[in-house]
Structure 1
Amino acid sequence: MNPSILIGRVLLLAGVVFLLAAPSLLSLRGLQLSTEFLTLLVLALMWNLLAGYADIVTVGQHAFVGIGAYAFFGFLVFAEMNPYLSVLLAGLVALVLAAPIMAIIFRLRAGYLAVGSWVVAETLMLLAGKLPTFGGGSGKSMPVATVKQFGGSAIERYVNIYWLALALAVVALLATWYLIRTRVGVGLTAMRDSEEGAGAIGVNLHRTRILCFLWTAPFLGIAGAIITSQKLRVAPPASFSIIDWTVYVIFIVVIGGIGSFEGPIIGTIVFFFLRETLADLGVWHLIILGAVSITVVLIEPKGIWGILRRFLPGDLIPLGHRPKSRPQPKSAE
């Protein structure tokens, strides 16, 4: 194995070990940041699958985060269901609502699809603001008794929510990795490289896009539920935040490397480093983030992973299949 590939995989393994040990090592603030990191990683992974592979460039991903947030709040607070069951049901609601949303926006293509997805998300946000049971436009906080279902103390609650976020990230990474390695994934890779070429060799573009769109919805809904369990309230501008759940996610994927499995991981790490480093600069940190993204794209359109890939002989996370070697027939003597 190439030494650079080995070093990269050792760093990935070290990161996994750190995440597993995080509840024993980090403070409350550290656990909160780690939970945010994992949920944003899931959002970035899903947007990368849509835009980087299936060519569904949506700017309305925050719609499903908000749907998951409100569904989770309703099941937990009003239906008084088990909190962990409520998290799963939030993902199911997002999946169910993905079908009619898909029927609307898939009539559009390219920039029209992006604008259409944004309009749908903003419409859902306005509808959420008309729900008096959920506090209308100002939102609603969780009752204390409901909050304590995640843990009697603050540290216990943060740890339990962190484990939820880690479990979601692991399932999202493994499931998406497996998807890309299947026959569908071969078609997605072909679509990423050349949509016309993929169609010419028999890839069903429409069916593959439908699968990817429905694939991402429950992960986004569950992420919205976990975000709500951490913030302890729902509110239309926060739960359906285009800045937090779509714009930052696009930034992460673009600078990390769109159309690659390593890109969202690298981009999330870089984003959190920049966010925490530039937090005291106010609005300037947004300007710097924009400048960084433009600089990276000008140097390498495939992001930081594209730059690193120039010096690496292979992927850190293998996605392709190696053909099995067949025994050569013995020559007749």
Structure 2
Amino acid sequence: MIVNGYTVTRATPAARVAAMLGAITLALLVAAPWWAGRADLRQLGELFLYLSLASLWNLMAGYAGLVSVGQQAYVGFGGYMLFALTMFAGFQPVVAIAAAGLLGALISVPVAALIFRLRGAYFAIGTWVIAEVFRLSFAQVSALGGGSGSSLPVGIVKSLAASRQGREWLSYWLALGAAVLVILVVHLFLRSRRGLALTAIRDNELAAGSLGIDIWRTKFAVYVLTAALTSIIGALIFLQKLRISPDAAFSVNDWTAFVIFIVVIGGIGTIEGPIIGTLIFFALRETLADLGTIYLMVLGAVAILVMLKAPRGVWGFIRDRYDLNLFPLGYRVSRTDNKEP
């Protein structure tokens, strides 16, 4: 758009190139079952699910300022809803996954009303307490295996596809679709008016409130949206595992600590950060997994090094140095005659 000799654009040349490369990469990933092995598909599926969790946590913490250490509550809730709806309500697994997201959104409403009374570190601790309440509650449900957990019945597993290969391919495509959906939803949300309000709140909450932005309602919308999508991801995670238990479903290490590590090293407050962070995390995990506990020590050392040398994460460092923006959210103004104003 040209206004009085100035060009107002949102997309950048780098963003256009990234979109083309992204489309090619997505096409290759969709076709992965025909060129990748079984182990590769499982690893890629896990990568997509971690990317989804990291993008959602980043939306909360990086944009809404809601630093949660209890998102495993919705991962586990989504997993248990998948098992409950398929085993007792007769839902087809794919339908149960969508229903788990809806139920996650519903349960997050009273949870948000409670923990939004807390601020800062108290909010973070409150989210962890809620996750523990979820864990202890599901551990008492004997129909779902109680504390020892339960496996998905063979009949339900076979309802996904007739063959094992078909089930593996479907699980992979569901994980890929979930990652694309999450990134798309986050991008569109941040480009919307509510996303603009969220960015204003992140930059200066007091000033945003003085301009008439409803801070509580904006953060509430982010929390409910994140809870719904995290529940869907949780259902997909345990659809791949085919077994669930309270300790596995509500693991703070697997579903929150690693996710925070991904976002911190990738770049919090950016859409690109979780993508970069997930790739780095999986590269480190595959390289160092045989080292046992040393592997976790190396992850900690990497996180400390990145925070010291690049406080905004790897992508934040790249963006500041080269002025790259692959997912533009705002507008750029330039003179059409390329002269200084």
Shorter-chain TM-score tier: over 0.9
Matched, 1:311 2:311: no
Alignment of 1:259-278 (within 5 A): 259-278=269-288
Distance (Å, rounded) in 2 between the aligned partners of 1:252 and 1:127? 29
Q: Name the structure 2 match of 1:256.
A: 266
**Gap runs ≥5 in structure 1:** 327-333
Displacement, 1:263? 0.6
Q: 1:5 to 1:146 in 2, by over 3 A?
A: closer
Displacement, 1:185? 0.9
Displacement, 1:304? 0.4
Higher-RCO chain (CA-CA 8 Å, sequence separation at least 6): 2
Distance (Å, rounded) in 1 between the aligned partners of 2:44 and 2:250? 21
After superposition, what is the alpha-carbon deviation per residue over 1:210-246, rounded to whole angstroms, capped at 9, x for unaligned? 0100111111111011111100011001111111111
**Gap runs ≥5 in structure 2:** 1-10, 337-341
Q: Name the structure 1 match of 2:214.
A: 204
Task: State whether residues 192 and 259 of structure 1, in contact with CA within 8 Å, keep that contact through their aligned partners in structure 2.
Answer: no
The one-letter code sitting in structure 1 at the alignment partner of 2:287 is T
Matched, 1:166 2:176: yes
Task: State whether residues 15 and 328 of structure 2, in contact with CA within 8 Å, keep that contact through their aligned partners in structure 1.
Answer: no
What TM-score comes out, normalization by structure 1 length?
0.93
Q: Name the structure 2 match of 1:329.
A: none
Q: Name the structure 2 match of 1:297.
A: 307
Distance (Å, rounded) in 1 between the aligned partners of 2:161 and 2:23? 30
The one-letter code sitting in structure 1 at the alignment partner of 2:70 is G
Task: State whether residues 15 and 327 of structure 2, in contact with CA within 8 Å, keep that contact through their aligned partners in structure 1.
Answer: no
Correspondence for 1:279 among 265, 286, 289? 289
Q: 1:325 to 1:90 in 2, by over 3 A?
A: farther
Correspondence for 2:70 among 50, 60, 63? 60
Matched, 1:120 2:130: yes
Alignment of 1:121-136 (within 5 A): 121-136=131-146
Task: State whether residues 64 and 224 of structure 1, in contact with CA within 8 Å, keep that contact through their aligned partners in structure 2.
Answer: yes
Give every structure 1 segment of 4 or more consecutive aligned residues whose post-TM-superposition deviation is greater than 6 Å: 1-7, 323-326
Matched, 1:230 2:230: no
Distance (Å, rounded) in 2 between the aligned partners of 1:6 and 1:216? 28
Q: Name the structure 2 match of 1:142.
A: 152
RMSD, aligned α-carbons: 2.0
The one-letter code sitting in structure 2 at the alignment partner of 1:275 is R
Displacement, 1:323? 6.5
Matched, 1:188 2:195: no
Matched, 1:73 2:83: yes
Count of residues in correspondence between the two structures: 326
Distance (Å, rounded) in 2 between the aligned partners of 1:171 and 1:10? 18
Distance (Å, rounded) in 2 between the aligned partners of 1:325 and 1:202? 32
Distance (Å, rounded) in 1 between the aligned partners of 2:95 and 2:79? 14
Q: Name the structure 2 match of 1:96.
A: 106
SS in 1 for 2:238: helix
SS in 2 for 1:269: helix
Correspondence for 1:105 among 97, 115, 125? 115
Distance (Å, rounded) in 1 between the aligned partners of 2:268 and 2:325? 14
After superposition, what is the alpha-carbon deviation per residue over 1:47-78, rounded to whole angstroms, capped at 9, x for unaligned? 00100000100100000011111111011122
SS in 2 for 1:310: helix
SS in 2 for 1:287: helix
Distance (Å, rounded) in 2 between the aligned partners of 1:265 and 1:14? 16
After superposition, what is the alpha-carbon deviation per residue over 1:262-307, rounded to whole angstroms, capped at 9, x for unaligned? 1111111111111111110111111111110111011121100111
Matched, 1:42 2:63: no
Quote the sequence identity (%): 45
Displacement, 1:322? 4.7
Displacement, 1:83? 1.4
Q: Name the structure 1 match of 2:230.
A: 220
Task: State whether residues 129 and 236 of structure 1, in contact with CA within 8 Å, keep that contact through their aligned partners in structure 2.
Answer: yes
Task: State whether residues 12 and 325 of structure 2, in contact with CA within 8 Å, keep that contact through their aligned partners in structure 1.
Answer: no
Q: 1:87 to 1:5 in 2, by over 3 A?
A: closer
Task: State whether residues 12 and 328 of structure 2, in contact with CA within 8 Å, keep that contact through their aligned partners in structure 1.
Answer: no
Q: 1:92 to 1:3 in 2, by over 3 A?
A: closer
Matched, 1:240 2:250: yes
Q: 1:322 to 1:7 in 2, by over 3 A?
A: closer
Q: 1:13 to 1:292 in 2, by over 3 A?
A: farther
Task: State whether residues 61 and 246 of structure 1, in contact with CA within 8 Å, keep that contact through their aligned partners in structure 2.
Answer: yes
Q: 1:3 to 1:321 in 2, by over 3 A?
A: closer
Q: Name the structure 2 match of 1:151.
A: 161
Task: State whether residues 65 and 239 of structure 1, in contact with CA within 8 Å, keep that contact through their aligned partners in structure 2.
Answer: yes
After superposition, what is the alpha-carbon deviation per residue over 1:123-177, rounded to whole angstroms, capped at 9, x for unaligned? 1101111110001100001111111112222221111011111221112111111
The one-letter code sitting in structure 2 at the alignment partner of 1:50 is M
SS in 1 for 2:159: helix
Q: 1:4 to 1:95 in 2, by over 3 A?
A: closer
Distance (Å, rounded) in 2 between the aligned partners of 1:170 and 1:5? 17
SS in 2 for 1:311: helix
What TM-score comes out, normalization by structure 2 length?
0.91
